[in-house]
Structure 1
Amino acid sequence: MPQKQNGNRPFPREPHTFPVAIRLSFGANCPTKQGPAPLTSATPPVIEITGLHKSFGALEVLKGVDLTASAGDVVSLIGSSGSGKSTMLRCANLLEDSQQGDIIFEGDPIRWKGTGHNRHPADPEQVRLIRTNLSMVFQSFNLWSHLTILQNVMEAPVTVLGEDKAEVEDRARQILDKVGIGAKCDSWPAELSGGQQQRAAIARAL
């Protein structure tokens, strides 16, 4: 028997039936202090996934997943361990190659080369732009142990994007304050609790 949610609705068992949602708030329609920009019929979703399939050898993990989310949407991906939740997000961020289906970011479809298990993104620059605008917070945090919390948050904007270090530091301190660990800027990851490390990882994603 399927598990019950609130005693009335069963959780689905198939990966492709799980409701999917992640915080998507980048690009032209990114929410601001005044609230999200108004959406029109001409505004494309931030992310649109149709018919996504992913297999590891003979094991089919994703079986035709569909997802559409607009700027500012908050969605939850629900499912048991091993049902494909992390795989779905890794495929969306192009950290994993999928074998079939379409992934569209702000109206721009991913361009592929090859088919099946030999299918890979065809445009490295497109991949770079997508990864620049789609952040992930990993379950294991993945903080760099040799960097302070502040340095962890600053690393990508300074090293990868080449942004001004002073401006990045100012933003990083504001974000760390916002997630409640501003006083831990100069601490090492090992000196923080698990919850504090998770907040640092969220700050880095933001």
Structure 2
Amino acid sequence: MLSSRHPLILGITGASGLIYAVRALKYLLAADCAIELVASKAVYMVWQAEQNIRMPAEPMQQEQFWREQAGEETSGKLTCHPWSDVGAAIASGSFRTLGMVVIPCSMSTVGKLATGLSSDLLERAADVQLKEGRKLVLVPRETPFSLIHLRNLTTLAEAGARIVPAIPAWYHHPQTIEDLVDFVVARALDQLDLDCVPLNRWQGH
């Protein structure tokens, strides 16, 4: 069990690859974690584009939506926040957390965080993790990276963020798309000292 008195913030942006967020949420809830979830405005469009699914805007309906997508109806604790609610608890440094993982993370979000701009709750919550010296894990899903992307990511790494690109490995002998996704999710959660994803880790030759 990985439950803690402090919750983990799960930020989901409009980058392609919502399966990364869904799989991360699945394992975190199954491990009985408390999750504060905030999805950016663009996520509504990505669900429509990638899965032809309409994501509800109302927090209680959104909680049920994410639980259904993750296949975890009752485990853990999930609280969803509207992207526009910059007065939510997670917008304040006085709200204690384990840290935050943004998965997948768009280059737009990376750019705003690198320059200290917070135009919505997700960006504000991530900025708070940096200013409080807490763990911030970013999982960028973009290719190729432009020089601007690389410089922004470098700025965030220098500020203390951990950068875990959505780049899977093959030494664990993946058989499905989920196996590839889970490798990235596991490595991202490793940065937060959360070991809740079943993964055939490298054991040497």
TM range (shorter): under 0.3
Max radius of gyration: which structure? Answer: 1
Relative CO higher for 1 or 2, CA cutoff 8 Å, sep ≥ 6? 2
Question: Which is helix-richer, 1 or 2?
Answer: 2
Q: TM-score, normalized by length of structure 1?
A: 0.25
Q: TM-score, normalized by length of structure 2?
A: 0.25
